[in-house]
Amino acid sequence: MNDLKVNFERLLKDLEELGKIGQDPLGGVSRPSFSLPDLEARRWLQQRIEQAGLVCRQDGAGNIFGCLPGKNPQVVMAGSHLDTVINGGRYDGSIGILAALECLRRIKEENLSLNKTLEMVSFTDEEGNLVGDFLGSRAFTGQLQVEQLKNARTQFGHSLEEILQKAGLSAETVAQASQERPEVSAYLEIHIEQGPVLEEEGVAIGLVSAIAGKRYYQASFVGRAGHAGTTPLELRQDAFIGLADFALKANQLTLRKYEGNTVTIGRVMLKPGSFSIVPGQADFTLDMRSLDGQSLKAIEEELLKLASEVASTRGLSFFSQLMDGTEPVVISEAVLNRLKNLCQELGYQYLTLPSGAGHDAQIMAAVCPVGMVFIPSVDGISHTPEEAINYEDLEKAANLLLRTLISLASE
Amino acid sequence: MNDLKVNFERLLKDLEELGKIGQDPLGGVSRPSFSLPDLEARRWLQQRIEQAGLVCRQDGAGNIFGCLPGKNPQVVMAGSHLDTVINGGRYDGSIGILAALECLRRIKEENLSLNKTLEMVSFTDEEGNLVGDFLGSRAFTGQLQVEQLKNARTQFGHSLEEILQKAGLSAETVAQASQERPEVSAYLEIHIEQGPVLEEEGVAIGLVSAIAGKRYYQASFVGRAGHAGTTPLELRQDAFIGLADFALKANQLTLRKYEGNTVTIGRVMLKPGSFSIVPGQADFTLDMRSLDGQSLKAIEEELLKLASEVASTRGLSFFSQLMDGTEPVVISEAVLNRLKNLCQELGYQYLTLPSGAGHDAQIMAAVCPVGMVFIPSVDGISHTPEEAINYEDLEKAANLLLRTLISLASE
């Protein structure tokens, strides 16, 4: 079984079919969790799992599994997520699921008898379109409480509970999903890099050494609305000017003091929101990331303090609410070394690199050793309709995953 | 007729009834032109006009008139607008219409025989919720072309033509509305100040000496979207950081070089608009106002140049489109003096002051002498649910309007 390879044509065909589900007239794929396209993609995936002769199940969080039982119930797991951001790409998430599916399908075809059980997984709402990233993997690893889920609302004010109920789930089933979890001995995930490094270095395979932690705040500067023509500039309490001041200073501070870390303001809404009214309120998202837990904490404290200072010098108020936070994760050395060795055996060049983006692997790290394999993103872009990959890179990553699963399940 | 006064109780009752039409559950009044609440308000006003025994008509732009014929067809006109911004106040526009209605009603009750015809008017879409301010008064004064109307779309992308058709109008009827215009010898408008000056000075009556001109642009900085966690700060082309830089510099430049003039960024939309994505595009509104035509032109040129400079130093592109522009207007000396004299006769303190906000009077200035009477805005605010007035100020303004109409129509 040392020369076993995936059926890459079959994998590409799956990728093409899945990419058609949720195609958005405005570009790319829009498949947020539990939307109609996501529900269609889920049905499609369940059929594919069953056609492959794997045992299909869904847990209380809507995570979908395809199982290939081994001699003992300990599970080596691989997967990613079906959901996308609005107008996202066709590869973020999908390739991790479909590569895992192809690996298990191929192993079953060969009738390989392995010690451990293999399972592919599709985690619910990795993108956090509902109530923060990683709902599915957080539920699977027992990190969600029923109370917080019951009252949770999406950014558009919809009740999470109502959305879950339409999908035949509930706050209770999500909170209890971890009770159905088998003993997992390792979790592997193939993902696009969503950054420029691998492409610039000309390397097909990235082995992730660490995953950045994140703080995501919903925040507001509040001043006083006024008519654009009658409120003199010097008397204004313009919430947007406060935000502009903060945004520039936050960027400068992070660049100067916390090199390599990031701060992003990705969404802004001014109220009342008319061209002829001085904004009385500026709502915005504040996203901070770091590979180092200490730095992340320091950036968070400094930027929130900076925002309060900007507010007080400009006669504004500042409010913030933590929407989501994850700690940085260092990847298991044992799994990373296994991946390195198998790359050498396969003759694949690789690069070890950190991941600035969060992934389900980061959440799974709470319950088992994890490994992540990146392939290059064309032009380094992701979360847009233009997201693209080179197929030969995916083929290599899928073959590396196949070997790694066999190797880990043979122990 | 030198001691004739309006029936202020009746005027207040009208104000109360009209204020209930379009009450918004989110606060204030939302009555944008041709919305269901605006259509309801139009029906209400037409009934009131007919109940007063005035001749009611509507022109091709949806402007509503109530006419009290005099000995000759020359018209002295007074009015304002029924429409409001979203979550606006109950006084902006409404008081100008209802005061004019009350004046004509009172004159008719007294059977005064005047030389000139009196007409009250409600102009369509003063607030520019459709396609730029002053649609109704621009149409009435013959400033709109059918071609520009046919292809016009609202800020939300709706076709103006379709909206007009639902109200029984069309691009053609709007463009031809000025053909129905009688000979107007003067236009008067009562309005709230929408600023703090009168309240601070403790004066009930403001006589407007000039109205600011305006340039309103829809503009964009365009950079490159990227994942918030994987795109290093120093490699970003963050469209929002470009906008923040521009906003601060534009404010500073205007304060330093063009004191007394204003620049406002009242609406911002980042694209793609996710907390986890570096904004590739920042769309925003840019509103510039000045009482001086030369200054307005200079501010416009300098700020657009500044935006291009900010864009080029930050690796961004800058795009802008002029949505609406008006020139500053100096108020007719004859009408202003008449208003001053009548204030003295009535024993009312007054202040002459410029208006930073645009008004239909500014548009009417193209076809006749105009006069504007301001009353104080409580706390200087407007275009918000908290907009308020003191009723005794409105009573004074209404009595001043009554005397002025009689005086002008007696010539």
Say whether A277 and B383 touch across the interface (CB within 8 A): yes
For residue A13, what are its two tokens? 């065909």
Given a cut of 70, is residue A223 above it in pLDDT?
yes
B264 closest CB neighbour out of A251, A278, A280:
A278
For residue A7, is it left (φ>0), alpha (ψ between -120 and 50) or beta?
Answer: beta
Residues of B in contact with A86 (CB under 8 A): 272, 274
CB atoms B229 and A196 under 8 Å? no
Domain that holds residue B226: 214-326
Q: Provide the residue-wise pLDDT of chain B in tens; the chain has 411 residues.
A: 578 999 999 999 999 999 999 999 888 999 999 999 999 999 999 999 999 999 999 999 999 999 999 999 999 999 999 999 999 999 999 999 999 999 999 999 999 999 999 999 999 999 998 887 899 999 999 999 999 899 898 877 889 999 999 999 999 999 999 999 999 999 999 999 988 889 999 999 999 999 999 999 999 999 998 888 888 899 899 999 999 999 999 999 999 999 889 999 999 999 989 898 999 999 999 999 999 999 999 999 999 999 999 999 999 999 999 988 888 998 889 999 999 999 999 999 999 999 887 899 999 999 999 999 999 999 888 888 999 999 999 999 999 999 999 999 999
Interface list for A 288-317 with B (CB within 8 A): 289
CB contact A190 to B (< 8 Å): no
Is A141 found in the same domain as A32? yes
Beta bridge partners of B68: B118
Residue B234 is nearest to which of A194, A255, A278, comparing CB atoms?
A255
What kind and span of H or E run contains B9? helix B8-19
Whether the Cβ atoms of residue A86 and residue A38 lie closer than 8 Å to each other: no
Mutate to test the interface with B, among A125, A230, A379 (most CBs of B within 10 A): A230
Q: Does residue A1 form part of some domain?
A: no
Q: Which residue of B has its CA nearest to A273?
A: B267
> Which among A230, A234, A264 has CB closest to B278?
A264
Chain A residues with CB inside 8 Å of B321's CB? Answer: none
For an interface test with B, give the residue of A264, A269, A313 to mutate (most B CBs within 10 A): A264
- pLDDT at residue A222 in the model: 98
Beta-bridged to residue A326, according to DSSP, are A214
- State which of A326, A342, A360 marks the end of a domain: A326
Q: What confidence score (pLDDT) does residue B1 get?
A: 58
Q: Mean pLDDT across the stretch A165-173?
A: 95
Q: Confirm or reject contact between B326 and chain A (CB < 8 A).
A: no
> For residue B56, is it within any domain?
yes
B114: which 2 tokens? 């005047």
Could you read off the pLDDT of B287-304 as tens digits, one per residue? 999 999 999 999 999 999
| Of A409, A331, A330, residue with least CA distance to A371 | A331
Rounded Cα–Cα distance for residues A241 and B120 (Å): 41
Closest in B194, B227, B228 to A227, CB measured: B194
Q: What are phi and psi of B216, to 5 degrees?
A: -120, 115
Strands B72-81 and B184-192: parallel
Measured CA distances, B409 to A81, A315, A317, B1, B185 (Å): 76, 50, 53, 13, 9
State the nearest Cα–Cα gap between B239 and chain A, in angstroms: 10
A97: tokens are: 């699921």
Residue of B155, B383, B387 best to disrupt the A interface, most CBs of A under 10 A? B383
Indicate if B374 and B360 belong to the same structural domain: yes
In the prediction, which pLDDT does A263 show?
97
B401 in Cβ contact with B99 (< 8 Å)? yes
> What is the model's pLDDT at position A184?
97
Given CB atoms, is B264 within the 8 Å cutoff of chain A?
Answer: yes
Is B1 among the domain residues? no
- Neighboring chain A residues of B323 at a CB cutoff of 8 Å: 275
Handedness of CA B224, B228, B233, B238 (dihedral sign): positive
In a domain, A354, yes or no: yes
Q: Does A71 touch chain B if contact means CB atoms closer than 8 Å?
A: no
Determine phi and psi for A70, rounding to 5 degrees: -110, -165
- Whether residue B104 contacts residue B52, with contact meaning beta carbons closer than 8 Å, is answered with yes
Are residues A251 and B241, on separate chains, in Cβ contact within 8 Å?
yes
Closest CB to B278 among A248, A266, A323: A266
Sign of CA dihedral A167, A173, A178, A182: negative
Strands A205-211 and A329-330: antiparallel
**Which chain B residues are within 8 Å of A247, Cβ to Cβ?**
240-241, 244
B87–A272 C-beta distance less than 8 A: yes
Give yes or no: residues A338 and A256 share one domain.
no
**Partner B contacted by A355 (CB < 8 A):** yes
Residues 6+ apart with CB under 8 A from B161: B149, B150, B152, B170, B171
Domain count, chain A: 2
Residue with tokens 């007063």: B52
Q: What is the 3-state secondary structure (H, E, C) of chain A?
A: CCCCCCCHHHHHHHHHHHHCCCECCCCCECCCCCCHHHHHHHHHHHHHHHHCCCEEEECCCCCEEEEECCCEEEEEEEEEECCCCCCECCCCCHHHHHHHHHHHHHHHHCCCCCCEEEEEEEECCCCCCCCCCCHHHHHHCCCCCHHHHHCCECCCCCEHHHHHHHCCCCHHHHHCHHHHCCCEEEEEEEEECCCCHHHHHCCCEEEEEEECEEEEEEEEEECECEECCCCCHHHCECHHHHHHHHHHHHHHHHHHHCCCCEEECCCEEEECCCCCEECCEEEEEEEEEECCHHHHHHHHHHHHHHHHHHHHHCCCEEEEEEEEEECCEECCHHHHHHHHHHHHHHCCCEEEEEECCCCHHHHHCCCCCEEEEEECCHHHCCCCCCCCCCHHHHHHHHHHHHHHHHHHHCC
Structure tokens at B183: 């000979």
Residue from A278, A266, A267 nearest A242 by CA: A278
Between helices A36-51 and A94-109, what is the axis angle to 10°?
10
- A255 and chain B in contact, CB less than 8 A: yes
Model ipTM? 0.74
Between CA A308 and CA A286 the distance in angstroms is 14
**Cβ-based neighbours of A333, under 8 Å, separated by 6 or more:** none
Q: How far apart are CA B339 and CA B346, in angstroms?
A: 10
Q: What is the DSSP letter of B92?
A: T
B235–A contact, CB cutoff 8 A? yes
For residue B260, what is the nearest residue in chain A, using CA coordinates? A232
**Best mutation site among A154, A227, A322 for testing chain B: the one with the most B CBs within 10 Å?**
A227
Residue B2 domain flag: no
Chain-chain contact of B247 with A266 (C-beta, under 8 angstroms):
no
Distance CA A316, CA A387 (A): 40
Site of tokens 């191929």: A106
In the three-class reduction of DSSP (H, G, I as helix; E, B as strand; rest coil), residue B81 is classed as strand
| Same domain? B347 vs B243 | no
The domain boundary residue, chosen from B291, B309, B326: B326
Distance CA A293, CA B345 (A): 76
Cβ-Cβ pairs closer than 8 A, A with B, add up to 229
pLDDT, position A144: 94
What does each C-alpha distance from B362 to A74, B137, B215, B238, B327 come to in angstroms?
Answer: 79, 9, 14, 40, 9
Q: Which residues on chain B are in Cβ contact (under 8 Å) with A260?
A: 232
3-state secondary structure of B48: helix
Instruction: Output the pLDDT for position A219.
Output: 98
Q: Are residues A339 and A399 in the same domain?
A: yes
B3, B112 contact by CB (below 8 A): no
Give yes or no: residues B66 and B173 share one domain. Answer: yes
Select the more confidently predicted residue: A161 or A157. Answer: A161
Structure tokens at B335: 């009408």
Same domain (yes/no): A38, A27: yes
Task: Return d(Cα B288, Cα B286) in angstroms, integer.
Answer: 7
Same domain, A197 and A136: yes
Which tens digit of pLDDT belongs to each residue from A390-402? 999 999 999 999 9
Nearest of A113, A56, A5, A103 to residue A405 by alpha carbon: A103
The answer on pLDDT for A380 being more than 90 is no
B321 in A contact zone (CB under 8 Å): no
Q: Rounded to an integer, what distance in angstroms lies between the CA atom of residue B377 and that of residue B343?
A: 20
pLDDT at A1: 58
- Asked if residue B178 belongs to a domain, the reply is yes
Q: What percent of chain A has pLDDT over 90?
A: 85
Q: Which of residues 121-180 of B touch A (CB under 8 A)?
A: 127-128, 133
Q: Which of B30, B126, B198, B230 has the highest number of chain A CBs within 10 A, making it the mutation to test binding with A?
A: B230
Please tell me whether residues B199 and B184 are part of one structural domain: yes
Last residue of one domain, picked from the residues A326, A350, A374: A326
Residues A132 and A246 reside in one and the same domain = no
**Assigned token pair, A27:** 């570009």
Q: Which residue type does B231 have? A: T
In a domain, B3, yes or no: no
Q: Is residue B405 part of a domain?
A: yes
According to the model, what pLDDT value does residue B132 have? Answer: 79
- B84 in contact with A, Cβ within 8 Å: no
Q: Where are the beta strands (DSSP E) in B132-204?
A: 184-192
Can you give the pLDDT at residue A146? 95
Nearest CA in chain B to A255: B233
CB contact under 8 A, B255 and A274: no
Instruction: Give the nearest partner residue to A230 out of B277, B323, B357, using CB atoms.
Output: B357
The closest CB to that of A228, out of B260, B275, B289, belongs to B289
In this structure, what token pair is assigned to residue B124?
């369509």
Q: Which amino acid, A169? A: L
CATH of the domain at A380: 3.40.630.10
In degrees and rounded to multiples of 5, residue B263 shows phi and psi of -135, 135
**Residue A30, CB-side half-sphere exposure with 13 Å CA sphere:** 9
Among A156, A221, A274, the strongest candidate for a mutation testing the B interface, having the largest count of B CBs within 10 A, is A274
- Claim to verify: residue A289 and residue A174 sit in the same structural domain: no
Distance, C-alpha A224 to centroid of its chain: 37
CATH number of the domain encompassing residue B292: 3.30.70.360
Residue contact A255–B262, C-beta within 8 A: no
Q: Are residues A66 and A206 in the same domain?
A: yes
Residues in contact with B338: Cβ distance below 8 Å, sequence separation at least 6, in sequence order: B371, B404, B407, B408
